[in-house]
Chain A
Amino acid sequence: MQMISRRDFLKLGAASTAVLAIESQFGAIAHAAEQLVEGGRSVNRTSGLPRSFLPSTCTQCPAGCGIIGYVEESRLVKIGGNTKHISNQGALCARGQAGINALYDPNRILKPLKRAGSRGSGEWTEISWEEALTEVSGRIGGIANRNEFVMLTDDLGRDDLARRFTWALGSGNALEGTGVYNANKLVATQLTWGRAGDMPDVSSSKYILSFGANPMENHTEFVGFVRRLVDGMQDNQAKVVVFDVRLTNTSAKSNELYYTAPGTYGLLALSMAQVIMQEGLYDATFIDRWTNVSAADLTRHLAQYTPERAEAETGVSASVIRRIAAEFATTKPATTLTDSMASSYSNGVQAERAVMLLNIITGNVDTRGGYCLPREYTLAEPAPAPAYPGATVLSNPPANPLASQQVISRTMEAIQKREQNVGVLMSHRYNIAYSNPDLGTVQDVLKDETLVPFHVAVTPYETETAIYADIILPEATYLEDWDIEVRPSPEQVPFVSLRQPVVPALKESKTFFDITRELANRIGGSVAQYFAFKRVDDYLKGRIAGIGGLVGAGGIDYLKQHGVWYEPTSRPDYGSYASTGFATPSGRIEVYSSRMAQHGYDPLPSYEAIAGLGNLHENDMVLTIFDTAAQFDSRTGNCMWLNEIEHNNPVWMNPETAHALGIEEGDHIKLTRKDGEAKIRSLESTAYLTEGIHPKVVAMANGVGHTAYGAIAQGEKIPYDDPEIPVELRDPNTKLVWWEHHGFNPGHGVNAKQIVPALVDPVGGGQAWGEVVVTVAKI
């Protein structure tokens, strides 16, 4: 069946417009004018009048899509996509559309708060900014040892100000949340090809092999990536094969889906590599020229990973492994997909390296349609740049020398063991008491005034973390804030985008720029010089200073007008390594990682079975926590339109397993963790029976289960005219929260992370989310 694809049509449209332009000279009707426009404008529903607008950048997830805020009477009324943005091209996901809910969350904090009761009691008194800033800067100024200032923050790079502030204070403890997500992947890629991360060029691929990635529900570049993935699948007829432990939207749309035993996909990838090498389907020239191993050595090393061995552990049959390996090697261009979950095991770095190996030995590295290097601009640190204060036990735990992304899963434990004394803890855009493993310990530490004598939360909301603060500084949301954003480009053409306030910060809330600047000025001394910017523009200009093309195009002023910039004539520079080499010690892809060898780890991609997951007892199951399309980790918890869709997370179970345990659909069940150190050991929920899950796996959704973060996040109604709620934030919809009584944990589900122990891959230092073995029982 032939289909005129959207892409073809757009091309065709352009061509026919040209034809029509000629036609119209002869009096034909100019047809193109009647085409409806894809976006970039918005009108009032009743008056039809155009709305005023400003471009900005979405921060509801890392993808950083270009958005346009449409405003009426200084109120944000709609968020649309920025059609000029090279990544999302005018499209937005559900979370991006719902950003308006985060801006006008009725429980948003709009005045500085000081703790009135005991830590965590949720009792506050309102104080003035003057009082708040004086107290916080006084506390910071009074710290004895500089490293006793600890900053918990969002992925750095995107939260540059937090790092700048921490470093300006002389502390090396700017700790980012990355460690609980794809740190293992970042470390694996960094070690192997010298760049952290990857960007499969899926729109031009012919064969796509996914190891536990689920880009159709979640991806770090969600809209930009999935749009190109679907282009690849539909317009380019790419074949997609997925290995996963459950039925995801991605596996539902795939050509083939194989349920894989948890934590074994490294073995799976290695066995495919073994087939490719054994059968001589590899790209000898590429291996020879661009890796630091020989094909012969590699074949010898891989010989142990036979498809038969893989079948026994992964559950995927040897014949399927052979066939798919051969298809992958012979269909060009091809690429693999992984996101964070693939490497979220204690063998995660090696698993990621095993998957990379498939691309490497088939010569699919950084080719059109292949497995590409992440293309993104590097931003400068505005002068004067604070010096790197050096490693600390928290930022670089000695036990994990290669963990360049920090080991945040263990941070709270380390503080509890007094490996690092804390004077002031500042939490900013990282809801550690919701997002981390071992939440019992996280809460204990945050509650303990001897461990954390002073905690200042800079946040728009009273999150699970902020409830343990001594002072809350009301921050502006991303829709009222400034920053420069860069992301790896799914189009393979790097871009820079601007986050600018589409409406002014509400009431007394302030941007993080203003907060850090005012604190720095009060602290004074050497600190103040790093924040001596007159206007935020001066800071932003400093960040893009190194990007000549953008500066030439008008710099910040260009970005304010267009929201995004990329080199207009730029085309993907596939194979750029040919001139520069790879950024590894050897300049080649380090299949044999010298740095891993240095630290006594197996230097070749290899597989070690995870002890607990091998021979599961009859009643034992592996818990998988997954992301859904309508929620983003902690961040979207207060968005009512998203909660209306996702507010509950019953436990997925295969009917056969469930029936063997006497469990029926909807039954109340209890999951109890078998072993591992974490304070909270069990949780209760209901069973959801589905044929779409591996019989030895139980799965629960992430993004729900809030115990703070305001009423909406907890699935509670808010009376419209509640006098506590500022008029600006009132929304009659909040009295219609209908899911209030739904589910076993009414209105909000349960946070599955609480029973996950803090367990990391020693190489990458990233959390091993996937290794939780539980027993399941009816209650």
Chain B
Amino acid sequence: MEHGDINVVYSVEHQLPLVMYIGQYFFFTGLSAGSFVISVIATLLGRKEFKPIGKITAVLAPALLIIAPINLIADLEQPLRFWHLFLYYNWTSPITYGSFLLTAYPVMGIIYAVMVYTNRQTPAKILGILGIPLAVSVHGYTGFILALAKARSLWNTAAMPTIFLVSAMVSGIGLVVIIAAIRWKWFDKDATEEQRAGDKKLILQLAQFMAYTLMLDLFLIFSDILVLLTAHSDAYEAGLLILTGNFAPLFVGVELILGALIPMILVLGPTRKSMTAVVVASILVNIGVYAMRYVMVIGGQTVPLS
């Protein structure tokens, strides 16, 4: 110790209430919401070359959203009581909204997917338009879960829901790019050269869209951290924790550099025409977003409260 330090001679340790199941749950809902939005954009634009992507994403969205809540239930200390959420709902709790959204959204998603696959354009479009706010809410609410837990200064910011949404878009697009690229490479043999060139162009365009969303994401994160660093002492500490503290390697190294900066260079730089580069970028983007969920959920709880 140095002269004049404050020694905490006695205090007790505290549990870390939310573990990575929750981070993972956030990650999967994000992916789902992202893919759904892409799917609906594809459906709405109605162009033939968008069809395959529209179809992939239409299945991905509800599928991912069935995986997501499994994480949530696994995290419960009393998983067999999950139905209490519906029986004893509390409208001031974001989790209550979430429970209903999480039920409504996959149902809607499945119907939408059926429409898309059976080529019923009009109902698909209507459902798609109705579904977008639902998808946005499903993921936005996860941001609210963190933002409204006011104890944790890393979470308790107005930017949190938006950051969650934008990063969800980023990871969702990334996933679509990866799947579309796989289809293009191995499962698209019957297509004409012209079709294949068109598909490739589309994938590259999607990737560029991803890069721009990523920029928005970075801007939001930047402003969030700037505010943290200038706010009260808890928030300042939270900011330092991820910038220079224990979580810096994950936040700066994985989330910012590996998961954002490098993908942006890959997608917008000289390699922008390379399918391989674009796919690598999309994988990195997803690793980055996963790291972001980790930093947020776990890091957010490590600033001592007492």
Q: Direct contact between A and B in the complex (CB less than 8 angstroms)? A: yes
Shortest CB distance A650–B (Å):
11
List chain A residues, Cβ under 8 A from B2. 655
List chain A residues, Cβ under 8 A from B1. 655, 665, 689-691
| Complex contact B3–A655 (CB within 8 A) | yes
Using C-beta atoms within 8 Å of the partner chain, give the interface range for chain B: under 10
| Complex contact A690–B7 (CB within 8 A) | yes
Closest A residue to B7 by CB, please name it: A690
From A645, A665, A691, contact of B3 by CB (8 A): A691
Shortest CB distance B189–A (Å):
60
Q: With A and B bound together, what is the CA distance between A691 and B1 in angstroms?
A: 9
Contact with B along A685-714 (1 / 0, CB 8 A): 000011100000000000000000000000
Q: With A and B bound together, what is the CA distance between A689 and B5 in angstroms?
A: 11
List chain B residues, Cβ under 8 A from A655. 1-3
Shortest CB distance A703–B (Å):
15
Using C-beta atoms within 8 Å of the partner chain, give the interface range for chain A: under 10
List chain A residues, Cβ under 8 A from B7. 690
Q: With A and B bound together, what is the CA distance between A626 and B10 in angstroms?
A: 17
Closest B residue to A646 by CB, please name it: B10
Q: With A and B bound together, what is the CA distance between A655 and B3 in angstroms?
A: 8
List chain B residues, Cβ under 8 A from A690. 1, 7, 9
List chain B residues, Cβ under 8 A from A691. 1, 3
Closest B residue to A630 by CB, please name it: B10
Q: With A and B bound together, what is the CA distance between A367 and B1 in angstroms?
A: 47
Q: With A and B bound together, what is the CA distance between A655 and B7 in angstroms?
A: 12
Q: With A and B bound together, what is the CA distance between A691 and B4 in angstroms?
A: 8
List chain B residues, Cβ under 8 A from A689. 1
Closest B residue to A658 by CB, please name it: B1
Q: With A and B bound together, what is the CA distance between A645 and B9 in angstroms?
A: 11
Shortest CB distance B1–A (Å):
5
Q: Which of A643-668 contact B (CB under 8 A)?
A: 645, 655, 665
Contact with A along B275-305 (1 / 0, CB 8 A): 0000000000000000000000000000000
Q: With A and B bound together, what is the CA distance between A479 and B10 in angstroms?
A: 31
Q: With A and B bound together, what is the CA distance between A753 and B10 in angstroms?
A: 24
Q: With A and B bound together, what is the CA distance between A665 and B1 in angstroms?
A: 6
Shortest CB distance B285–A (Å):
40
Shortest CB distance B8–A (Å):
12
Q: With A and B bound together, what is the CA distance between A665 and B10 in angstroms?
A: 16
Contact with A along B9-27 (1 / 0, CB 8 A): 1100000000000000000
List chain A residues, Cβ under 8 A from B3. 655, 691
Shortest CB distance B172–A (Å):
42
Q: With A and B bound together, what is the CA distance between A690 and B1 in angstroms?
A: 8
Closest A residue to B2 by CB, please name it: A655
Shortest CB distance A452–B (Å):
42
Closest B residue to A247 by CB, please name it: B9
Q: With A and B bound together, what is the CA distance between A690 and B8 in angstroms?
A: 11
Q: Which of A541-591 contact B (CB under 8 A)?
A: none
Q: With A and B bound together, what is the CA distance between A402 and B199 in angstroms?
A: 106
Closest A residue to B1 by CB, please name it: A689
Q: With A and B bound together, what is the CA distance between A690 and B3 in angstroms?
A: 9
List chain B residues, Cβ under 8 A from A665. 1
Closest B residue to A655 by CB, please name it: B1
Closest A residue to B13 by CB, please name it: A738
Q: Which of A365-382 contact B (CB under 8 A)?
A: none
Shortest CB distance B170–A (Å):
41
Q: With A and B bound together, what is the CA distance between A690 and B6 in angstroms?
A: 10
Q: With A and B bound together, what is the CA distance between A645 and B7 in angstroms?
A: 17
List chain A residues, Cβ under 8 A from B9. 690
Shortest CB distance B5–A (Å):
8
Shortest CB distance B161–A (Å):
37
Shortest CB distance B206–A (Å):
50
Shortest CB distance A561–B (Å):
40
Q: With A and B bound together, what is the CA distance between A665 and B9 in angstroms?
A: 13
Contact with A along B124-142 (1 / 0, CB 8 A): 0000000000000000000
Q: With A and B bound together, what is the CA distance between A655 and B4 in angstroms?
A: 11
Q: With A and B bound together, what is the CA distance between A645 and B2 in angstroms?
A: 26
Q: With A and B bound together, what is the CA distance between A645 and B3 in angstroms?
A: 27
Shortest CB distance B9–A (Å):
8
Shortest CB distance A733–B (Å):
16
Contact with B along A517-558 (1 / 0, CB 8 A): 000000000000000000000000000000000000000000
Q: With A and B bound together, what is the CA distance between A645 and B10 in angstroms?
A: 9
Q: With A and B bound together, what is the CA distance between A691 and B9 in angstroms?
A: 12
Shortest CB distance B88–A (Å):
20
Shortest CB distance A663–B (Å):
12
Q: With A and B bound together, what is the CA distance between A359 and B3 in angstroms?
A: 39
List chain B residues, Cβ under 8 A from A645. 10
Shortest CB distance A701–B (Å):
12
Shortest CB distance A250–B (Å):
15
Q: Which of A295-338 contact B (CB under 8 A)?
A: none
Q: Which of B60-83 contact A (CB under 8 A)?
A: none
Q: 7 closest Cβ contacts across the A-B interface?
A: A689-B1, A655-B1, A665-B1, A690-B7, A655-B3, A691-B3, A690-B1
**Interfacial residues, chain B to chain A (CB-CB below 8 A):** 1-3, 7, 9-10
User: Told that A655-B3, A691-B3 touch, could you supply 9 new A-B pairs with CB distance under 8 A?
Assistant: A645-B10, A655-B1, A655-B2, A665-B1, A689-B1, A690-B1, A690-B7, A690-B9, A691-B1
Q: List 11 A-B contacts (CB under 8 A).
A: A645-B10, A655-B1, A655-B2, A655-B3, A665-B1, A689-B1, A690-B1, A690-B7, A690-B9, A691-B1, A691-B3
